[in-house]
Amino acid sequence: MEFQLSFQGAAQNVTGSRYMLSANGLNLLIDCGLYQEHNLKERNWRDFPFPPDKLDAVFLTHAHLDHCGLLPRLVKAGFKGRIYCTAPTADIVRIVLLDCARINEEDAEFKRRRHEKEGRTPKYKELPLYTEEEAREVFPLLTPCPYRTTIDLGSGLTAEFEEIGHILGASFLRFAISQKGATRHLVFSGDVGRRKMPILHAPAAIGNADYLVLESTYGNRLHSPQQDVAKTLADIINQTCERRGNLIIPSFAIERTQDLLYYLSLLHSQDQIPHLPIFVDSPMAVKVSMIFKRYPDLFDSKTKELARHFRSANTHLVHTQADSKSINHIRGTAIIIAGAGMCTGGRIKHHLTHNIEDSANTILFVGYQASNTLGRLIKDGAPIVRILGEDYKVKAHVASIDGFSAHADKQELQEWMCTASGIPRTVFVTHGEPEAAQELAEAINDKPGWKAQVPNYLDTVSLS
């Protein structure tokens, strides 16, 4: 028996997830994600290192941009096969890709106008990575599949989606590869969720896994206790109020914004914080919240509370750019939640330009900030950052709460890994910065009988 696994992305970095499984004459792509680290963004523009028209199928673990964001370019390059995913993932992918395309088109036009105003001739023409029209070409290929149902791909290959928590519709994938009477199981973790988070079920057990591809976003960290999240959030809000400043929260539209609204409403109902105006400046977050209502069978018991708390009287859902700009003229403390979560694009950049140089304000990070993103630079204490072509001094207070994370930490990843029916032959540690991936791999190798390795970008391994 022999088959091959190629690490096409998220190898010693966090974003750009993409793996190629070649077995029994079939070529399958697992995820097709966008690179969001500034120093790696040029990879988004490269030709794929394989012929897209020769791919038999794509499998998506979930709908985050770093797992699905390059699908329009894949389709434009000639891919015409099925894109397998869960039904919630298919619904959210449509929103995510259109939003990404819109932001790309807006950013390209903004740069064009800025260069024209400055009298500059850029080295490269200001073009969007892809357009809304190109994003829509992906939609007919999306093929929703239920959890825990075997997908027969023919040629001795089957696949199955299992719940992994993380976000609505997220999955880990288990492939069974049969040759000459023998079968091997290859599992892709996707992004591993946490057991005690609100809204979604806990990750399912791995089961059979001869080989495991394991994410390591928080592979060298431990999260703070979950019960500290509400208190820490309340403290940050109250301190900002005392300074009469604004609280700016870059937030992911999927799951994180909904979690934030849940906690803010609870704190309001308990009079732990003042009844401040809350602006959700993310049309995508609003649309995703509507999708949540379609899949009540995927929620835990606490989600009924979330539905009640999602929109209180002081929560304002912002749709248009004009409404977004008007927030800057409001006097008095406000909470502004806007995308993108790593400050890589979208409306958060405009809010930062109006708030980052005022020491009364607070910028609060509630999610992972990948290396070389604007969010990471601010979080790591950069005194000056460049936003929308101009330099800004970071005078606002900068805070973070890791307890919101939908990623399992070092301990939780190892606990989930040990739900495999036996010890895998090899664990491939991916989707983490080099230090995080290496530390997790070392911890795995310290376990008797376990073997882990950290692949490099474009490495290909032959498995048997």
pLDDT digits (tens, 9 = 90+) for 324-375: 999 988 888 999 999 889 998 889 999 999 999 999 999 999 988 988 899 9
pLDDT score of 310 more than 80? no
SS3 294: coil
Query: Which one, of 83, 69, 66, lies nearest residue 29 by Cα?
Result: 83
Q: Per residue in 157-176, is it b (16+ CB within 10 Å) or e — as a string?
A: bbbbbbbbbbbbbbbbbbbb
Section 424-444 average pLDDT: 98
Task: Identify the CATH homologous superfamily for domain 3-221+406-463.
Answer: Ribonuclease Z/Hydroxyacylglutathione hydrolase-like (3.60.15.10)
Q: Which residue has the higher pLDDT, 105 or 461?
A: 461
- Report the range of poorest mean pLDDT among 157-161, 345-349, 422-426: 345-349
Lowest mean pLDDT among 264-273, 284-293, 434-443: 284-293
Q: CATH 3.40.50.10890 region(s) of the chain?
A: 228-404
**Domain ranges in the chain with CATH number 3.60.15.10:** 3-221+406-463
pLDDT band at 304; cut points 50, 70, 90: low
Lowest mean pLDDT across 17-21, 36-40, 313-317: 313-317
Asked if residue 10 has a cis previous peptide bond (ω within 30° of 0), the answer is no
Question: What value, to the nearest 5°, has the Cα angle with vertex 264 and ends 261 and 267?
Answer: 150
pLDDT digits (tens, 9 = 90+) for 72-129: 999 999 999 999 999 999 999 999 999 899 988 988 888 788 777 777 776 666 789 9
Q: What is the pTM of this model?
A: 0.85
pLDDT at 306 over 70: no
CA distances from 409 to 174, 211, 343, 369 (A): 22, 21, 23, 15
At residue 227, the pLDDT reads: 62
Write down the pLDDT at residue 22: 98
Q: Name the fold adopted by 228-404.
A: Rossmann fold (3.40.50)
